[in-house]
Structure 1
Amino acid sequence: MNSRIYYNSLLRQARPLIAFTILAIGLYSCTTSAGSESIGAPPPQELPVLTLTNTAAVTYQEFSATIEGTVNVELRPQVDGYLEKIYVDEGAYVTKGQLLFKINDRSYASQFTTAEATAHAAQANMEKAAIELNRIRPLVQNNVVSDVQLKAAQASYEAAKASFEQAQSATNNAGISLGYTLIKAPVSGYIGRIPFKAGSLVGRGEALPLTVLSEVNNVYAYFSMSESDFLQFTSHTTGKTVDEKIKGLPPVELMLADKSIYTEKGKVEMVQGQFDKSMGTISFRAVFANANGILRSGNTGKVRIPHTNAAVLAVPQQATYELQDKVYVFTVADSNKVVSKPIGIAGTSGVYYLVDKGLNAGETIVFTGLDRLRDGAVIRPLPLSADSLRKAMPL
């Protein structure tokens, strides 16, 4: 009995606490529900989008090239001797006929003087034989002396004449050798490396030339095409023959080693007659004007052959992303949901990819903010004008 009274007393004391707990739970539930309704789902993010249209664009095929002067002359000594003087420095510009080197000429000058003296003596002997012949000829006619003497005088004159001609030839050869001691520029151009110093013994057997003289008012850019590139060139370029196709090519550009474009455009002039079997390539030659001497023999770069595309889809590169060696864009589908698509790239033009697969004209793609997107995400599109975009970012 006392236990029941004690239990009832505890229950009466706990009722206010139970009621308060139930009330607190109810208030918390209402507050949570109201808070959820007030926050709600986040609104779609606003992102710029671009509707694609066909446009004309120029693409380039690039081929590694080496530059050479139109004339590269190896200057080699034609006579042996000590290099007495060097009149120019490496890298200097020289004009045709300018004196460049001098080989010690004392021995050659002596040989020339000796040859001249021998020639003068031979000339004197020839003149003496001619006088004797002219003296005997009328005597034979008058039967004063026999015909045998005339024939002997004639033979002496012919022998003297031959000796004189031989001496003249020796004099000319000595003069040529003496002239070879002075080495002059055969063309105007730039002096290359000079591996010898004054006092060096040089001669015709030297492996190295005295220098290489490059005429670079115009330069040649040599580049090669693979067999597949060459077949594409022959099938896509107008003309019946290869020569006609080369003449029909537009002016080409030269990209220098620092990625800048050379100011002058060039012209493809010729293609070799056969493929290199070891490399599987065929060589072309383009010529570029070089009046300012910016290009030198030994420069490298890339020859860029332009191709005009009448109607292609130009997609800004910043509107794409790469994944596992593929390039993707986010297209805007129904209900403004985005869907990723891989695209095929036919080439580049400026900051644009030229797309030939995966997209069609009229489709809309997300321009920026791709790093915050996932397939199926809903966005609020902010349309951009393709024309105004190309004015700001030209092809």
Structure 2
Amino acid sequence: MLHRKSLLKLMLSLLLAVSVLGACSRSTDAPAPKQVAEVGTVTVAPESQAVLTELPGRTVAYLTADIRPQISGIIQRRLFTEGANVKQGQALYQIDPAIYQAAYDSAKASLTRAEATLDASKLRAQRYTELNQIDAVSKQDNDDAQSVLRENMAALGVARAALKAAEINLGFTRITAPISGRVEASTVTPGALVVAQQSLAMTTIQKIDPIYVDVTQSSVDVLRLRREFTSGNIKAFGRDEVPVRLILEDGSVYPSQGKLKFNGLNVNSSTGVITLRAEFPNIDGILLPGMYVRAQLEQAVDETAILVPQKAVTRDVTGAATTLILNDAGKVERRTVTVERTVGSRWWVSAGLQAGDKVIVDGLQKIKEGDSARAVDMSTALSQK
């Protein structure tokens, strides 16, 4: 019993000693001052930036020609390879020329006869004129001779026109390409009967270098751009200076840049859109008529655009875009911003920031809103990446 009391007294003495030592330690140790965090910042500076508009579109052949016969006849030969490129004036089909050759020969013979008849009537009219001057023939006979001469001159003109028509029809038996381009499949084969001005095209030729891209833009967007132009917020490109880039169906970027050639003058009453047409080089034939593409048009320039690194912008729980800045008092401040789109590795901010703001881009994990921090300018380092 005495041993248990002694042990209890010893334990109480030890606890009292530990408490005294802890109190002394707390009274002598001063709290360590909080360190000011260093953060990397980028100072906002306006810069010139093209205002891109991305619009859906379709490729359209630069020129299109449906091949139809201008005379009736039987196809003798097809003179082209389907899917190949043909030159303007190249022969495509040969229609049996026998009937038209015979008509030409007949017209040529009629012309020869008309020329001979005219020569005879000229001599007769000349003699009657001379005889009439000495009253050797009656005036009526002379008038008749002169009338016959004029009739034969007219007949010669008719014969020449008939020969020309026969020559044209004979030429139409050989159907040639009216334009250069890529020829499609033939709808007729040798032995088929074709008729003049038939509705079914024998084939079609399309010129696809260069090629057009027709895109549509809503009238609402057009009005918005015009308001921005009027207010002076953005500067319009000249009509012949608007560059256009293409994004193909697989997401790849078309290597060649085009330019805007035509702005629609009317708004489609059913869709409320305006059609714009751009022209692109197509030397390799990558673009084919009817392809779906997305066109990026540089319709204007914002000379006071604000761009910040993408890592400086985050989203809060509501989905709003925010960024942290270091204000003039050296305090971390949160700003809600409006981002338009990405430009390379940066966000284009249209609202929430202004020139001179120090946007925090590095050390975000060490700070929170309201903390004090010291700025380390990283503008030069980021611009060299």
Matched, 1:281 2:270: no
Matched, 1:388 2:381: yes
Call closer, same or farther: CA 1:373–1:88 in 2, change over 3 Å: farther
Q: Map of 1:7-86 to 2, 5 A cutoff?
A: 50-59=41-50, 60-86=52-78
1:345 paired residue number: 339
Could you tell me how far 1:356 is from its partner in structure 2? 1.8
Call closer, same or farther: CA 1:362–1:104 in 2, change over 3 Å: same
Could you tell me how far 1:70 is from its partner in structure 2? 4.0
Using the aligned pairs only, state the percent identity.
21
1:328 paired residue number: 321
2:207 paired residue number: 214
Which shows bigger deviation, 360-369 or 345-354?
360-369
Residue 252 of structure 2, aligned match among 259, 277, 288: 259
Count matched residues: 354
Matched, 1:125 2:117: yes
Q: Secondary structure at the match of 2:384?
A: helix
2:351 paired residue number: 357
Structure 1 CA distance for aligned equivalents of residues 68 and 254 of structure 2: 36
Q: Secondary structure at the match of 1:54?
A: coil
Q: Does the Cα contact within 8 Å between 1:75 and 1:213 map onto a contact in 2? A: no
Could you tell me how far 1:213 is from its partner in structure 2? 3.3
Could you tell me how far 1:134 is from its partner in structure 2? 2.8
Call closer, same or farther: CA 1:351–1:90 in 2, change over 3 Å: farther
1:38 paired residue number: none
> Over residues 112-138 of structure 1, what are the superposed CA-to-partner deviations in whole Å (9 max), with x where a residue is unaligned?
222222222232222333333233333
Q: Give the TM-score taking structure 1 as reference length.
A: 0.71
1:163 paired residue number: 155
1:8 paired residue number: none
Q: Does the Cα contact within 8 Å between 1:331 and 1:363 map onto a contact in 2? A: no
Could you tell me how far 1:349 is from its partner in structure 2? 1.5
> Over residues 7-37 of structure 1, what are the superposed CA-to-partner deviations in whole Å (9 max), with x where a residue is unaligned?
xxxxx7xx79x98xx99xx9xxx9xxxxxxx
Q: Does the Cα contact within 8 Å between 2:97 and 2:170 map onto a contact in 1? A: yes
Structure 2 CA distance for aligned equivalents of residues 226 and 325 of structure 1: 30
Could you tell me how far 1:355 is from its partner in structure 2? 0.6
Q: Secondary structure at the match of 1:196?
A: coil
1:106 paired residue number: 98
Could you tell me how far 1:172 is from its partner in structure 2? 1.0
Call closer, same or farther: CA 1:331–1:100 in 2, change over 3 Å: same
Structure 1: state its 5+ residue gaps: 1-11, 31-43, 239-244
Matched, 1:308 2:301: yes
Could you tell me how far 1:307 is from its partner in structure 2? 3.7
Q: Does the Cα contact within 8 Å between 1:339 and 1:376 map onto a contact in 2? A: yes
Structure 2: state its 5+ residue gaps: 20-34, 231-235
Q: Does the Cα contact within 8 Å between 1:246 and 1:269 map onto a contact in 2? A: no
1:9 paired residue number: none
Q: Secondary structure at the match of 1:224?
A: strand
Structure 2 CA distance for aligned equivalents of residues 123 and 324 of structure 1: 99
Could you tell me how far 1:260 is from its partner in structure 2? 0.8
Structure 1 CA distance for aligned equivalents of residues 347 and 271 of structure 2: 31
Report the AA paired with residue 170 of structure 2: L
Structure 2 CA distance for aligned equivalents of residues 124 and 236 of structure 1: 80
Q: Does the Cα contact within 8 Å between 1:274 and 1:282 map onto a contact in 2? A: yes
Structure 1 CA distance for aligned equivalents of residues 138 and 316 of structure 2: 114
Structure 1 CA distance for aligned equivalents of residues 363 and 177 of structure 2: 64
Report the AA paired with residue 127 of structure 1: D
Structure 2 CA distance for aligned equivalents of residues 249 and 47 of structure 1: 50
1:4 paired residue number: none
Structure 2 CA distance for aligned equivalents of residues 106 and 190 of structure 1: 31
1:33 paired residue number: none
Report the AA paired with residue 301 of structure 2: T
Call closer, same or farther: CA 1:379–1:297 in 2, change over 3 Å: farther
Structure 1 CA distance for aligned equivalents of residues 334 and 117 of structure 2: 104
1:317 paired residue number: 310
Call closer, same or farther: CA 1:91–1:54 in 2, change over 3 Å: farther
Q: Does the Cα contact within 8 Å between 2:245 and 2:295 map onto a contact in 1? A: yes
Call closer, same or farther: CA 1:362–1:144 in 2, change over 3 Å: closer
Could you tell me how far 1:365 is from its partner in structure 2? 5.6
Report the AA paired with residue 222 of structure 2: F
Structure 2 CA distance for aligned equivalents of residues 301 and 76 of structure 1: 35
1:145 paired residue number: 137
Residue 183 of structure 1, aligned match among 175, 180, 186: 175
Could you tell me how far 1:329 is from its partner in structure 2? 3.2
Q: Does the Cα contact within 8 Å between 1:63 and 1:224 map onto a contact in 2? A: yes
Q: Does the Cα contact within 8 Å between 1:133 and 1:154 map onto a contact in 2? A: yes
Q: Does the Cα contact within 8 Å between 1:222 and 1:283 map onto a contact in 2? A: yes
